Amino acid sequence: MAEARSKVMSLRLSEEMAAEIGAVARTDDVPVTEAIREAIANHIATRRASKEFKQRIQKRLEEDREILERLSE
């Protein structure tokens, strides 16, 4: 099975948040990185389900399309 491509990123957390995600990960018996990936996946899923977020994406796409079209002239 082919391995999925990944990107290394750094993340700065407050000491409190780092301690809390560490506790969550230990309680779930998973690495902190896995707990963070799960939190990010949940955040993205929540945004994808949001009508307001989708409307903001559409607005951004329209704005970017206009700029890109001007640049390509």
pLDDT tens profile 32-46: 999 999 999 999 999
The answer as to whether 8 is a domain residue is: no
SS3 (DSSP) at 30: coil
Q: What is the pLDDT of residue 4?
A: 82
Domain-located, residue 3: no
- Whether 6 is in a domain gets the answer no
Using DSSP, state whether 24 is helix, strand or coil.
helix
Q: Tens of pLDDT along the chain (73 residues)?
A: 566 899 999 999 999 999 999 999 999 999 999 999 999 999 999 999 999 999 999 999 999 999 999 999 9
- Is 9 inside a domain boundary? no
Q: Which domain holds residue 58?
A: 15-72
Phi-psi region of 58 (alpha: psi -120 to 50; beta: other; left: phi over 0): alpha
Number of domains in the chain: 1
